[in-house]
Amino acid sequence: AQKITQTQPGMFVQEKEAVTLDCTYDTSDPSYGLFWYKQPSSGEMIFLIYQGSYDQQNATEGRYSLNFQKARKSANLVISASQLGDSAMYFCAMRDLNQFYFGTGTSLTVIP
Amino acid sequence: DTAVSQTPKYLVTQMGNDKSIKCEQNLGHDTMYWYKQDSKKFLKIMFSYNNKELIINETVPNRFSPKSPDKAHLNLHINSLELGDSAVYFCASSPGGNQPQHFGDGTRLSIL
């Protein structure tokens, strides 16, 4: 089974609107971390947000929030008030048992 | 100050050659990684070193060999380069626990 699944290869959003990027995960380890990374066209990997498996509240970092639904094993990224600079690839990742796993990514395009 | 730096940024070489990519981190992290990102943007972990000891060795060809002279460095040496080795190679580091990885800017390897 895939450890990290991102089912949206590509997404479009209007500038200033909110968008949700989906991510589901699979692990039997009770202690794990969930991450989102942004990769713009320039190629670097930028860490956005982190959610620990024991965290009671959803993580937020500025316009980014992580909608953590533990029972459903989902960790969706919500970007509010989209900006043109948000156009990029977005990767969901998980760390469990000392190993990292990445999803296949979602390409987000923000339309002016 | 660059946290994770890898050199060179671009590497163009011919099939059959041997090349190395260097990586250094100044974050004091215990674990360093090498990833390969193919043309479809899929990230595959290749190696992980924790305090100079290999803890993950995914099924990569033995032409690839990681070398860690100390905790702050993890170099990647590739022998007998093949066309399929063309990709972007990322170095990353992380502290212990479920903390995020910090990535270098990537090395784009092109095999002629």
The residue whose two tokens read 């339309």 is: A111
CB A4 within 8 A of CB A25: yes
Pairwise CA distance, residues B3 & B92, whole Å: 10
Whether A100 and B45 lie within 8 Å, measured CB to CB: yes
Bridge pairing between strands B10-13 and B107-111 = parallel
pLDDT for res B2: 67
Taking the CA of residue A12 and the nearest CA in chain B, the distance in Å comes to 18
Nearest 5°: phi and psi at B85?
A: -80, -10
**Residue in A47, A53, A102 closest to B43 by CB:** A102
Does residue B66 have a cis bond before it (omega within 30 degrees)? no
Asked if B56's CB is within 8 angstroms of A43's CB, the reply is no
Give per-residue pLDDT as tens, A19-46.
999 999 999 999 999 999 999 999 999 9
Nearest chain A Cα distance for residue B98, angstroms: 5
Flag whether residue B54 sits within 8 Å of chain A, measured between CB atoms: no
- The answer to whether A50 contacts B99, with C-beta atoms less than 8 Å apart, is yes
Those residues with Cβ within 8 angstroms of residue A6's Cβ, 6 or more apart along the chain or in another chain:
A21, A22, A23, A91, A92, A103, A104, A105, A106
Residue A91 identity (one-letter amino acid): F
pLDDT for residue B87: 96
pLDDT tens per residue, range A50-106: 999 999 999 999 999 999 999 999 999 999 999 999 999 999 999 988 788 999 999
- Please, are residues A35 and A53 in contact by the beta-carbon 8 Å criterion? no
Please give the full DSSP string across A47-93, using - where no structure is assigned.
Answer: EEEEEETT-SS--EETTEEEEEETTTTEEEEEE-S--GGG-EEEEEE
pLDDT at B97: 75
Selected for mutation to probe chain A from B32, B43, B47, B89 (highest A CB count within 10 Å) is B43
Chain A residues in contact with B105 by the CB 8 A cut-off are 43-44
Q: Could you give the CA distance from residue B24 to residue B3 in angstroms, rounded to a whole number?
A: 8
Q: Which chain A residue lies closest to B99 (C-alpha atoms)? A: A33
Q: Provide the number of CB pairs (under 8 Å) joining chain A to chain B.
A: 54
Which pLDDT band holds residue A1 (cuts at 50, 70, 90)? low
Q: What local confidence, expressed as pLDDT, does residue B53 receive?
A: 80
Residue whose structure tokens are 């090395």: B107
Cross-chain Cβ contact B99/A33 below 8 Å: yes
Per-residue pLDDT of chain B (112 residues; tens, 9 = 90+): 669 999 999 999 999 999 999 999 999 998 999 999 999 999 988 999 987 788 777 778 989 999 988 889 999 999 999 999 999 999 999 987 778 899 999 999 999 9
Residue B45 phi/psi, 5-degree rounding, is -75, 135
B42, B98, B100 ranked by CB distance to A104: nearest:
B42
Q: Do A47 and B102 touch (CB under 8 A)?
A: yes
The pLDDT value recorded for residue B79 is 96
